[in-house]
Homo-oligomer: A and B are copies of this chain.
């Protein structure tokens, strides 16, 4: 995998996929980032980062889609969230104990940047505005995830499936017609139910005209009803 690591052909200064936080850096600081980072490409399905590994670099998802997940007792997989481009991976872990607590794998072909960790830390300590931006983005991210999770845990299976569909529609793809990036099993892993149950509910939703379903392609027909189902648990 290390062979994939190459010097970026574009500099950070004119990167179209720069993070919100990095946008507050000045030219000199950005030069530092540029000199201490590398770009890499990953194919769909490849693992980006393994839980348990020591944090050696900050990883920034420049383009593509990934899943954040953990394995329970080496078997059952739990997907924590779908990560969109322009996101740092594993930041919360970074500032905790320096061990990555979650794994990440590419759901689409991805471009990622490895950023030197001590340089990143220096930036935080040097530039309070940068620190603040990082704080805001990790906080928001955490809050969103935790909330999604909290509410999920109170819901029955219909509510959970409805939630997941709205999640994809609103947060991930921002359209009512989309293609699930993974098989049913992983859809089930995202909402914490069995594959069979998830399947059954999807089919029920289809038969009731709430969604249109063909393989992995989904169209949300009745958002209001879905919203209601999500609310009522």
Residues of A within 8 A of B (CB): 70, 72-73, 76, 78, 80, 91-97, 101, 121, 124-129, 131-132, 134-136, 138-140, 142-143, 145-147, 149-151, 153-154, 192, 233
Contact = CB atoms under 8 A, between A and B. Distances in A.
Contacts of A127: 128
A149 B147 contact: no
Majority-rule SS of A interface residues? helix
A153 B153 contact: yes
A169 to B, nearest CB: 22
A72 to B, nearest CB: 5
B140 A132 contact: no
Contacts of A132: 95, 121, 124-125, 131
A212 B129 CA distance: 52
18 contacts: A72-B154, A76-B154, A78-B153, A80-B150, A92-B142, A92-B143, A95-B132, A95-B136, A96-B136, A96-B139, A96-B143, A121-B132, A124-B128, A125-B132, A128-B128, A138-B138, A145-B146, A149-B149
